[in-house]
Amino acid sequence: MTLQQSYASEAPAREEIDALKGPVVVEFGTPWCGYCRRAQPLIAEAFAGFEAVAHYKIEDGPGRPLGRSFNVKLWPTLVFMRDGMEVARLVRPESAEAIRQALARIAA
Protein backbone atom coordinates (compact mmCIF):
# COMPACT_ATOMS: atom_id res chain seq x y z
CA MET A 1 0.00 0.00 0.00
CA THR A 2 1.30 3.44 -0.79
CA LEU A 3 1.59 6.29 1.66
CA GLN A 4 -1.68 8.22 1.68
CA GLN A 5 -1.27 11.87 0.70
CA SER A 6 -4.55 13.37 1.91
CA TYR A 7 -6.77 12.84 4.93
CA ALA A 8 -9.89 10.77 4.25
CA SER A 9 -13.00 12.60 5.41
CA GLU A 10 -14.92 9.32 5.71
CA ALA A 11 -13.42 7.03 8.33
CA PRO A 12 -13.84 3.27 8.47
CA ALA A 13 -15.53 1.79 11.53
CA ARG A 14 -13.31 0.84 14.45
CA GLU A 15 -14.27 -2.80 13.89
CA GLU A 16 -12.84 -2.60 10.35
CA ILE A 17 -9.53 -1.22 11.63
CA ASP A 18 -9.34 -3.84 14.38
CA ALA A 19 -9.94 -6.61 11.82
CA LEU A 20 -7.02 -5.59 9.58
CA LYS A 21 -4.25 -8.17 9.34
CA GLY A 22 -0.57 -7.35 9.26
CA PRO A 23 1.15 -4.03 9.96
CA VAL A 24 -1.04 -0.91 9.83
CA VAL A 25 -0.51 2.75 10.71
CA VAL A 26 -3.57 4.89 11.37
CA GLU A 27 -2.72 8.58 11.18
CA PHE A 28 -5.17 11.09 12.66
CA GLY A 29 -5.01 14.80 11.81
CA THR A 30 -6.42 17.52 9.58
CA PRO A 31 -5.17 19.23 6.43
CA TRP A 32 -5.14 22.66 8.12
CA CYS A 33 -3.18 21.57 11.23
CA GLY A 34 0.31 23.10 11.30
CA TYR A 35 1.71 20.21 13.34
CA CYS A 36 0.26 17.76 10.80
CA ARG A 37 1.74 19.60 7.83
CA ARG A 38 5.14 19.83 9.53
CA ALA A 39 5.12 16.05 10.22
CA GLN A 40 4.35 15.01 6.62
CA PRO A 41 7.95 15.04 5.30
CA LEU A 42 9.08 13.08 8.37
CA ILE A 43 6.34 10.49 7.84
CA ALA A 44 7.18 10.17 4.14
CA GLU A 45 10.89 9.77 4.89
CA ALA A 46 10.22 7.16 7.58
CA PHE A 47 7.91 5.10 5.38
CA ALA A 48 10.62 4.62 2.75
CA GLY A 49 11.45 0.93 2.96
CA PHE A 50 8.20 0.06 4.71
CA GLU A 51 5.97 -0.16 1.63
CA ALA A 52 4.24 -3.29 2.99
CA VAL A 53 2.79 -1.32 5.91
CA ALA A 54 -0.78 -0.17 5.28
CA HIS A 55 -1.33 3.54 5.94
CA TYR A 56 -4.74 5.01 6.78
CA LYS A 57 -4.76 8.79 6.97
CA ILE A 58 -8.00 9.86 8.68
CA GLU A 59 -9.30 13.39 9.18
CA ASP A 60 -10.16 13.83 12.84
CA GLY A 61 -12.15 16.34 14.86
CA PRO A 62 -14.97 16.74 17.37
CA GLY A 63 -17.64 14.11 16.96
CA ARG A 64 -15.49 11.82 14.84
CA PRO A 65 -15.98 8.37 16.43
CA LEU A 66 -12.84 6.64 15.14
CA GLY A 67 -10.50 9.21 16.68
CA ARG A 68 -12.45 9.15 19.93
CA SER A 69 -12.25 5.35 20.06
CA PHE A 70 -8.44 5.69 19.95
CA ASN A 71 -8.49 8.50 22.55
CA VAL A 72 -6.83 10.92 20.14
CA LYS A 73 -6.25 14.29 21.82
CA LEU A 74 -3.55 15.97 19.68
CA TRP A 75 -2.67 15.88 15.98
CA PRO A 76 -1.04 14.26 14.30
CA THR A 77 -1.36 11.00 16.19
CA LEU A 78 0.07 7.89 14.57
CA VAL A 79 -1.19 4.56 15.88
CA PHE A 80 0.99 1.60 14.90
CA MET A 81 -0.92 -1.68 14.83
CA ARG A 82 -0.25 -5.30 14.00
CA ASP A 83 -3.14 -7.71 13.45
CA GLY A 84 -5.61 -5.30 15.05
CA MET A 85 -3.59 -4.63 18.20
CA GLU A 86 -1.93 -1.33 19.05
CA VAL A 87 1.83 -1.79 19.39
CA ALA A 88 3.03 1.83 19.51
CA ARG A 89 1.77 5.39 19.30
CA LEU A 90 3.44 8.67 18.42
CA VAL A 91 1.89 12.07 19.02
CA ARG A 92 3.34 15.02 17.12
CA PRO A 93 6.45 13.10 16.04
CA GLU A 94 9.55 15.24 15.74
CA SER A 95 11.86 12.89 13.85
CA ALA A 96 11.72 10.39 11.03
CA GLU A 97 13.84 8.08 13.16
CA ALA A 98 11.17 7.82 15.89
CA ILE A 99 8.60 6.92 13.23
CA ARG A 100 10.97 4.42 11.63
CA GLN A 101 11.55 2.71 14.99
CA ALA A 102 7.80 2.34 15.55
CA LEU A 103 7.38 1.03 11.99
CA ALA A 104 10.11 -1.55 12.62
CA ARG A 105 8.19 -2.80 15.67
CA ILE A 106 5.11 -3.66 13.58
CA ALA A 107 6.84 -4.73 10.37
CA ALA A 108 9.02 -7.38 11.99
pLDDT in tens, 17-59: 999 999 999 999 999 999 999 999 999 999 999 999 999 999 9
Q: Does a structural domain hold residue 79?
A: yes
Q: What is the pLDDT of residues 55-85, one digit of tens each?
A: 999 999 998 999 999 999 999 999 999 999 9
Q: Does a structural domain hold residue 1?
A: no
Q: Does a structural domain hold residue 3?
A: no
Q: Does a structural domain hold residue 50?
A: yes
Number of domains in the chain: 1
Q: What would the DSSP string read from start to end of 61-76?
A: -TT-HHHHHTT--SSS
Does the bond joining 62 to the residue before it have cis omega, within 30 degrees of 0? no
pTM comes to: 0.95
